[in-house]
Every structure is written in structure tokens, then in C-alpha cells.
Amino acid sequence: MVFYRLWQLEGTSLSLQVTHTHTHTHTLTQPLFCLASSSHRNVRQCILDTRQQLQLLLEENVELEKARQEWEALENIQPALTEDSNPTPLISFNEALQYFQTTDLGDLLKNIQPTIRRTGLAAITHFLFGPPRLHRELLEERDLVFAIAQCHVDNSQTVHMRVLQTIYKRLIGSRLDCPRFGTHWENIGFQGTDPATDLRGTGFLGLMHTLYFVMDPETLPLARDIYKLSQHPTQNFPFSVMSINMTRIALQVLREEALSKECNRRQQVVGVLNEFYVATYLHLYQLWKTQQKTIMDSGFVLKEVELFAKKNPKQMLRRLEVFLKERRAGGIPRGTSPDPQAQQPSPSLGARARMGQGSKGKDMHFTGVCDLPPDMEGEARLI
């Protein structure tokens, strides 16, 4: 929009002030010799000359305004694929796990802390009365989990980017890729425009757990139930940030060797940890939903979930098994509601166990989880 004042006399000059929205104020000045003359022709010529300058200025400002609007519109455009584009293919948990199994993680393995360091009486008590030690043949698989937990998101790694895209598309139900950075990540419960900034407590393992959750056909309906609750008008919570906290709890329970007995029985670590993560998120979901919790209660709920998970790992896994069995039977497990998306056919729990056997199985270690400082261990919080 253009605003301008009428002619005004300033000494011996004739001035016209033009102000354009979003641009500077321009002033046209013409000598007044023509007005001082008695010749009407000179006055007319002076006005015509000034009018031409004004017209040129107005045209220039119109072009500037048009260019400014086009530039602002360009800044707001998010790169995205169209229906005719080829979206990034989804990645399975196994494929992502195999990537880490074949990647040199030697430097990361030097910094892991797979067990709690105990000294003195605590070490003796743990040795005599604590859980059994993990079988020697499973130590390499356990260490892989903690090494992945040390990994950071690498934008140059195709597998890393596919994991991010898969999580987003499976939760949102989209076919198309989304930009690497942007507010759309907040839609699935990250705290900002870059998911990597939320993984400081669990590293890439936090994404791997979520990948397992959304890619397993039996747990996907539960993941979508939890995601739906996270969008509730009053009971909402950040889905992905909460998921990272569940990974943190699962890692701590593994580090305290509370899962060793189950790992030894099933002869695998990744599969047990994956299911324990889901069981922990299920426990939180049921508490949150049935007790009408809100984000203000998150600290207390996380602490309660963490304490229960550490004391009752076997019961947690058993609850998940019963929950999935009820869902397969067509019933509505406690703490849930009917959801058309949740009634998708899925393989039996026995089939899942067979697919997940061994370190090469379906269940993969979550990458990017960082070891917690000693003074932070056991503390419940939203990362």
C-alpha cells in the first residue's frame, strides 16, 4: 500500500513525500523556478516532470512489494514430496539392527557401562542374593545395545534418516516423507524442530525402541492408542519424549541386571529389552488413562513406573503378554478403548518370539542411549 502527501513548499523547492508499506519513505524534490515564473507553460512542465518521476517511483515500489511478498512466501515453503514423488521406503527393525551389527562401534564400546558398579558390602550382597549374571554368550549382544545407546543421529546416514521417516509416517499414517527439520516433529511428541536434540538421555536407542513399537504389527495398535491419548485435550503428553523415558527406564533395568534371568531363559537380549520397553510404556499408558493423569503429574507417574519396573520386571513382561493375548482374541484389554486401527491382524506371540530369537533376530538394540551419570540414575523425569 502506498501513502503520499500533497505538494508542500519547502523554501525554493517543491516536494512530494511518498511512503510505501514495508519500505523507506521517498521524497521527490523539484526546483520552484518554474512556479516563480509568470509562464504557465513552465509550471505545467514542472508538474509533468514531477508526475513522471512519481509514476516511476510508484512502479518501482510496486515491484519491490511484489518481490518481498514472493520472498516471504518462499521462506515459508517446506520441502516435501508430492504424490508423484518416490517416498523413502520404510525400514524394519531387523534391517536397522543389522546396520548397527555391521558397523564398527569400537570407539563407542570403550565408553559403555553395561552394569552397575558396586563396591564393598553392596557388591557382596549382590553377588550372593542378587539376580543371576548374564550368560557369557549374551555379553556381546548386551554391549551392542549400550553402544547403540551412545550413537547420535547422523544426517549423512541413510539408515538414520529412514528410521526417522518410518516413525513419523507410521504414527501419522502418511505415505509422504517429511522435512528433516520443522515443527511437524512436535506433532508426534518431540520438543522442537529437531528430534536429535531430545535423544541426549538415550541416544539413537530411543528411536530404535519407537521403531520397534510402530513396525511390529502386534504392538502397532497399542502404539497408536498411546499416541491418540497423547493428543487428548486435557490428558495430552509428548509421545516421543515419553517414549524416550521408557527407553531410559528399560536400559537402567538392564544395567541393574534385573532382566538377566529372562535374557538367559530366552537366550537373547534385544528381544527381551524391546518387549520390556513396550511393557513399560503400556504400564504408563494404563496408569495415565485410568487415573486421568495430566502433564502436571508426569514426574510422579514416571517415578512410579520406574520403581515398579525395577522391582517387577517379570510381572511387567507377563502383563504385556496377557494384554496382547486379549487383543488377539478380539477383546478390549483393560485401559484401552475400541479403535478400528487396533484390530489389525498380527502374528501370534509365539511367532514373534521365534522371529526375535538370537542377536540376529527381529528385536534390535536401541541406538543412541547414553549412560546416565551416577547421580542421575533412578531419577524420573521428562528428558
Residue 290 lies in a domain: yes
Number of domains in the chain: 2
b (16+ CB within 10 A) / e for 282-305: bbbbbbbbeeebebebbeebbeeb
Q: What is the pLDDT of residue 66?
A: 72
66 and 98, same domain (yes or no): no
Domain of residue 128 covers: 93-329
Residue 275 lies in a domain: yes
Query: Which residues pair with residue 25 across a beta bridge?
Result: 19
100 and 70, same domain (yes or no): no
103 and 244, same domain (yes or no): yes
214 and 313, same domain (yes or no): yes
Residue 17 lies in a domain: no
| Assigned C-alpha cell, 312 | 517387577
50 and 196, same domain (yes or no): no
118 and 266, same domain (yes or no): yes
Residue 25 lies in a domain: no
Q: How far apart are CA 98 and CA 158, in angstroms?
A: 14
61 and 171, same domain (yes or no): no
279 and 194, same domain (yes or no): yes
Q: How far apart are CA 138 and CA 135, in angstroms?
A: 6
Residue 250 lies in a domain: yes
106 and 207, same domain (yes or no): yes
Distance (Å) of CA 71 to CA 65, 76, 77, 153, 181? 10, 9, 10, 32, 20
Q: What is the pLDDT of residue 83?
A: 41
Domain boundary among 329, 349, 366: 329
Digitized pLDDT (tens) for each residue of the chain, 383 residues in all: 444 444 444 444 455 554 554 545 555 555 444 444 445 556 667 666 767 776 776 676 777 777 667 656 544 444 444 444 688 999 999 999 999 999 999 999 998 888 866 656 655 655 555 678 999 999 999 999 999 999 999 999 999 999 999 999 999 999 999 999 999 999 999 999 999 999 987 999 999 999 999 999 999 999 999 999 999 999 999 999 999 999 999 999 999 999 999 999 999 999 999 999 999 999 999 999 999 999 999 999 999 999 999 999 999 999 999 999 999 888 666 555 433 333 333 333 333 333 344 333 334 332 333 333 333 333 444 55
Residue 353 lies in a domain: no
98 and 56, same domain (yes or no): no
Residue 253 lies in a domain: yes
Q: What is the pLDDT of residue 63?
A: 72
Residue 294 lies in a domain: yes
* One-letter amino acid for residue 124 of the chain: I
